[in-house]
Amino acid sequence: MTIATVPADEIPGAEGVFDTPGRQLLADLVSIPSPSGKEDKATAHLASFFEAQGREAWIDDAGNVRAPGDDSVLLTSHIDTVPGEIPARIEDGDPELAAEGPVLWGRGSVDATGPLAAMAVAAVDTGASFVGVVGEETDSRGARHLLEDREAPEAVINGEPSGWDAITLGYRGIVGGDYTVTTPAGHGARPDANAINHATAWWERVRAAVAAENEGKEAGGFDTITPRATGMEAGPTDDGTAVVASMATRFRVPPSETPDSVRVLVEDSLEAGEIEWGQSIPPQVSSPRGSVPAALRKGIRDAGGEPTHLHKTGTADANLYAAGWDVPVATYGPGDASLDHAPDERLPLAAFDRAVAVLTTACEQLRD
């Protein structure tokens, strides 16, 4: 398998910038569209990077890139991105990010191609185990397959943007459900509630129940439940005999709750219709005194930074690894997380370089 590199002159402003294997890999992957379900070209390129460095690598049945190595730590991040084209380009400096030097713009540069490429380089440099997983932005199918198909490593560093000098210790969980209600068709002048009325009333009851549960907590914070309606379809059936309303919903689950407790809260708001629950991911919180945060803190300090700890309101594959393997887990990677999924996603290359150094030190610490 050969590496089809991205010529520097095809990325505006990139002349002389991609001067290390890591920077070149980052540019290559950012330049290859890889939305969830369409990661094939990116996975092939990532596997070829490891092969070119003399490392065994293959693509498993889920589409993950597997590069086995020293299992004192597994470096893993996701290959997929959210949809949306941001043409790759280099700009010199970025006042908003307080960054000097080249800044790479492009979809995935932050979430999570930057962390992914940094981990790939660190894995090659240290011999650590590596997996690039697919589907994190949708159903985490790559991480779920990994849990079923692989023995637990001794520790996990999961790749997501935290900033090169910060460590993410916790994420909220998530649970999703599809609500459906059907009522007989009737004349619009009748006072009876139809399916659409029932669906909107149910959702308002859910929101009120969640607000009561969150009372006294910071709005939208790490310790709160967040309800989100992600889609709705409603109207008469094709034969005109009934009205149907369906709503797709997702709930972020704080550490004080479980997916099951949130399901109960939502189901208690039902008066008509039913909800079918999908897969869930539990919340995850790591101790700052654990071996993985300690190794990352040393790496950050050695690279000239002062480490900080974060708790994020989103959800990551780290939650699944912590629950499924019961090993030390922390999340780390270059990039400003406020740019996740944003139309101005971009990463200073100096931050990427420092992240590679941090991960290399952390792997060496965990191996000793």
Quick one: pLDDT at residue 2? 41
pLDDT tens-digit map of 106-118: 999 999 999 999 9
How many DSSP H helices and E strands does the chain contain?
A: 9, 16
Among residues 28, 39, 80, 353, the one annotated as catalytic is: 80
- φ, ψ for residue 226 (rounded to 5)? -120, 120
Q: Which of these, 197, 202, 194, 174, lies nearest to 275 by C-alpha position?
A: 202
Annotated active-site residue in 94, 136, 257, 317: 136
Task: Residue 330: name the closest of 119, 186, 125, 134 by CA.
Answer: 119
Contact 165, 361 (CB under 8 A): no
219 vs 188, residue with greater confidence: 219
160 is in an annotated binding site: yes
Local confidence band at 3 (pLDDT 50, 70, 90 cut-offs): very low
pLDDT number for residue 186: 72
pLDDT of 92 above 60: yes
What is the domain class of 173-280 according to CATH?
alpha beta
Kindly state the average pLDDT of the residues 208-213: 97
Answer for the pair 252, 226: CB distance below 8 angstroms, yes or no.
yes
pLDDT digits (tens, 9 = 90+) for 173-197: 999 999 999 999 875 656 788 999 9
pLDDT for residue 312: 96
Please tell me the predicted confidence (pLDDT) of residue 14: 85
Residues 6+ apart with CB under 8 A from 132: 43, 46, 64, 65, 76, 77, 78, 79, 116, 120
Q: What integer pLDDT is reported at residue 309 of this predicted model?
A: 98
Residues 221 and 313: their CA atoms lie apart, in Å, by: 7
Residue 268 falls in the annotated catalytic set: no
* Topology alike, domains 8-171+283-367 and 173-280: no
- Which tens digits make up the pLDDT trace of 247-266? 999 999 999 999 999 999 99
Q: How far apart are CA 279 and CA 286, in angstroms?
A: 23
Of the candidates 274, 263, 280, 259, which has an alpha carbon nearest to the alpha carbon of residue 179? 274
Q: What are the structure tokens assigned to 209, written together?
A: 């129940």
Kindly list the domain boundaries of the chain, sorted by start residue: 8-171+283-367, 173-280
Known catalytic membership, residue 80: yes
Reading the block at residue 41, the tokens are: 């070209």
Say whether 137 counts as a known binding-site residue: yes
Q: Once rounded to an integer, what is the mean pLDDT over residues 228-240?
A: 94
Question: How many CB atoms within 10 Å of residue 93?
Answer: 12
CATH topology of domain 8-171+283-367: Aminopeptidase (3.40.630)
- Residue 75 contacts by C-beta under 8 Å, 6 or more apart in sequence? 119, 120, 122, 123, 128, 129, 130, 131, 157, 159, 359, 363
pLDDT at 152 over 80: yes
Coarse DSSP helix, strand, coil percentages of the chain, rounded to the nearest 5 percent:
35, 30, 40
Annotated binding residue 309: no
